[in-house]
Chains A and B, each alone.
Chain A
Amino acid sequence: MSAVSRAEYCVIACAEAWRDAGEILASPMGLIPSVGARLARSTFSPDLLLTDGEAMLVAPDGTVEGWLPYRQHLTLVTGGRRHVMMGASQIDRYGNQNISCIGDWTRPKRQLLGVRGASVNTLNNPTSYWIPRHSRRVFVERVDLVCGVGYDHAAEHPETARFHRVPRVVSDLGVFDFTTPDHSMRLASLHPGVTVDQVREATGFELTVPDEVPYTREPTDRELELIREVIDPGKTRAREVPDRETG
C-alpha cells in the first residue's frame, strides 16, 4: 500500500475518539470525522450508532436500522448517550469553542453559523472537536463568543456541568486533550511529519507539551483498505486535508 497520507492519520485520530464508547451515537461533523466514525463502527467499535446525516440511523452500508428526527436527536443529546465531534471557528486553551461570530457579538466583524447546539452538546455528552487547518486564527487565547463550554467555565457550574467532557481535539497537525491539572490544552500526539515547533507556531496560546510526544498511531492494513476502498473511495478526505509533501 502507498504511504499513509496526512488525511488518513487524521481519520485514525478521529476514529480513536469513539474507541470503547459502547452503544452510543457517534455524531461526526465534517468529512474526516465522518470517515473516522464509520471506520470505528466497522472495526473496533461495532456497537456505535450512526446517522445518514439526516433522520435515519444507518449501518455503514446504508441499511436503515432506526429513525432519529431532530426532535429525538435532541433528546438523545440530553440523555447523554452520544459523542459528538464538532467543528470550531475558534477554540481556546480550556476548550471553549466558538462557531457564532468573530468580533463583538452586538455587531460582528464576521457573522458565522450561530451557537447551534454547541451549548447543549457540551453540557450533556462528550464533545470533541475537529479542526482541518490548525492556525493561530483558530487556536486563540480567548474565543470571541463561548458557544461550546470549556473546562474553566464548566468548573464554575459543577452541578449543571456534571456531564461536561471534552475528550479530544484533532487537527491536521496532531491530537490534543485536556489531561493537565488545570484542564488546559495538551499536545497528546503529533501526526507523522509534524514537529512540536510547527504546532507551537500555529497555536495562539501556551500549549502544554510533554517531554516525550508520541506520534499518532499507524493505521492497520485492514483500516487503510476500509478507508481507501470501502468508506471513502472518492477520496473526499483530501478535500479537507490535502495530500502534501512532508519535511
Chain B
Amino acid sequence: MSDKTMSAEEAVGRLESGMTLGIGGWGSRRKPMALVRALLRSQITDLTVISYGGPDVGMLAAAGRIRKLVTAFVTLDSIPLEPHYRAARERGALDLMEIDEAMFLWGLRAAANRLPFLPVRAGIGSDVMRVNPGLRTVTSPYEDGETFVAVPALRMDAALVHVSRADRRGNGQYLGPDPYFDDLFCEAADTAYVSCERIVDTAELTKEAAPQTLLVKRHTVTGVVEAPNGAHFTSCAPDYGRDEAFQKRYATTPWAQFAARFLDGDEQAYQSAVRSAAGEAT
C-alpha cells in the first residue's frame, strides 16, 4: 500500500522549469497556496500556468515565473481586479491564452478523456478567436451542420490542488459547497500533488461526510501534502473563509515589500507572520 505523503518542498522538488502546471480552485477560493508558496521559494520558472486565476496567478506573475498563462479571468473575488496580474499584463510580462470559462472547462474535460479537443458553443463571433489564432473550429457531421470551437485538450505536466481532507494514498475530499474542477485538473495531468488541511485514515473520510465528497481519486494523485491553513488567504470552507483583511494587505502592499515580509521564510514562518499581521491595522 503506497504512502504518498510528502512535504511541499518534496512535491515542488519534482517539478521543473518550463513545465505546464495546472492550478486548481477558482479565483480566490480553495487555491493550493502553500504549494504556490513552496514554488515561489524554489528556482522553478518559465512556467505555462493553467488556472481559473486568483492570487496563485498574481503571485507567480509578480515573481516573474510565468511564461504563458491559460485562463478565462484572474480575480480576487471580493477585489475584482488582481493587482499583480494586472501589472504583469500591462508591462507585457507574459504570454496569454485567454479563453472563455466554458472553453476552459471543455479543454480540461478533453485532456481528462484523452481527446485532442471537444466542441463547444462559445468563442465563435467573439475576439477570443482573434487573440488565439491557433484555435480551430469543427463542423457537425450531422444534418444541423453547426460550427463550434474545437477547444484543444489542456493537458498538463503537473496539477496542484488543495482539498479539505485526504488519506495517505491520495483520496481527496472537499467539504465545502463547490468542488470547483480539482478532480479534472488531477485527471488532466501526468502528475498531481494534493495538499489538504488534514491527513486522516481512509475510514475517517466517510465517517462524517457522504462518499460524494470524495472528489479526487488516488490513481490520479502522485503526492499528498498535509498543509493546515494551506489555502490561506483564499477560502477553504467549511474550515475557514477568505482572510479578507490579509487579502487586502496583499493587494495594496508593493510586491517586494509583501514578499520580504511574508514569503522569504518557510511555510511555518509565513503562518506565524500572518498571525502577527492579524493584530495590525491594514
Q: Using CB atoms and an 8 Å cutoff, list the residues of chain A in contact with chain B.
A: 54-56, 67, 69-71, 74, 77-78, 100-101, 105-120, 122-124, 145-149, 153-154, 156-157, 159-161, 163-164
- Is B90 engaged at the interface, CB distance under 8 Å to the other chain? yes
Contact call A123/B124, Cβ cutoff below 8 A: yes
Of all chain A residues, the one with the shortest Cβ separation from B124 is A160
Contacting pair A159 B126 (CB below 8 A):
no
- What is the distance, in angstroms, from A24's C-beta to the closest C-beta of chain B? 18
Question: What string of 1s and 0s marks CB contacts (under 8 Å) between B122-136 and chain A?
Answer: 111111101100000
Question: Across the interface, do B177 and A69 meet the contact criterion of CB distance under 8 Å?
Answer: yes
A88 to chain B, nearest CB (A): 13
* Shortest CB distance A50–B (Å): 15
B101 and A74 within 8 A (CB): yes
**A124 vs B106: C-alpha distance when bound (angstroms):** 15
The interface residues of chain B, by DSSP majority, are classed as loop
Docked CA distance A94–B89 (Å): 28
Q: Are B98's CB and A100's CB within 8 A? A: yes
Taking the closest CB of chain B, its distance from the CB of A55, in whole angstroms, is 4
Cross-chain contact B122 with A119 (CB below 8 angstroms): yes
- Residue of A147, A148, A163 contacting most chain B CB atoms (<10 Å): A147
A-B pairs with beta carbons under 8 Å apart, 28 shown:
A55-B178, A70-B180, A71-B179, A71-B180, A71-B181, A78-B102, A105-B131, A106-B131, A107-B91, A110-B90, A114-B71, A115-B99, A115-B128, A116-B100, A118-B126, A119-B125, A119-B126, A120-B103, A123-B124, A147-B126, A149-B124, A157-B124, A157-B125, A159-B145, A159-B147, A160-B125, A161-B124, A161-B125
CB-defined contacts of A101 to chain B, threshold 8 Å: 89
Complex-state Cα separation, A114 to B126, whole angstroms: 13
Partner of A114, one of B73, B102, B178, B180: B73
Q: How far is the CB of B150 from chain A (nearest CB, A)?
A: 13
User: Using Cβ atoms and an 8 Å threshold, which residues of chain B touch A67?
Assistant: 177
Query: Residue of B at shortest CB range from A117?
Result: B101
- Shortest A156–chain B CB gap in Å is 6
B86 contacts the other chain (CB 8 A): yes
Contact indicator A120/B125 (Cβ below 8 Å): no
Contact of B73 among A115, A154, A160 (CB under 8 A): A115
Q: How far is the CA of A68 from the CA of B53 in the complex (A)?
A: 21
Chain B residues numbered 70-128 whose CB sits less than 8 Å from any CB in chain A: 71-75, 80-81, 85-86, 89-92, 98-103, 105, 120-128
Residues of chain B within 8 A (CB-CB) of A153 are 125-126
- The distance in angstroms between the C-alpha atoms of A54 and B180, with both chains bound, is 11
Top-8 shortest CB links A-B: A114-B73, A120-B122, A120-B102, A55-B177, A111-B89, A153-B125, A119-B100, A117-B101
Contact in complex: B131, A145 (CB < 8 Å): yes
A108 and B128 CA atoms in complex are apart in Å by 15
Q: Which of chain B's residues have a CB closer than 8 A to the CB of A115?
A: 72-73, 98-100, 126, 128
How many whole Å from A160's CB to the nearest CB in chain B?
Answer: 5
- A113 contacts B80, C-beta separation under 8 Å: yes
Residues in chain A near residue B103, CB distance under 8 A: 119-120
How far, in angstroms, from A116 to B126 measured CA to CA in the complex?
Answer: 12
* Complex alpha-carbon distance, A113 and B71, angstroms: 11
Assess whether A154 is in contact with B127, with CB atoms less than 8 Å apart. Answer: no
Residues of the A chain whose Cβ atoms lie less than 8 Å from the Cβ of B98: 100, 105, 114-115
Residue of A with least CB distance to B235? A54
A105 touches B125 (CB 8 A): no
**Cβ 8 A contact of B101, one of A56, A111, A116, A148:** A116
Tell me whether B270 is interfacial, beta carbon within 8 Å: no
Report if B146 contacts A (CB, 8 A). yes
A54: chain B residues within 8 A (beta carbon) = 177-178
Contact A69 B73 (CB under 8 A): no
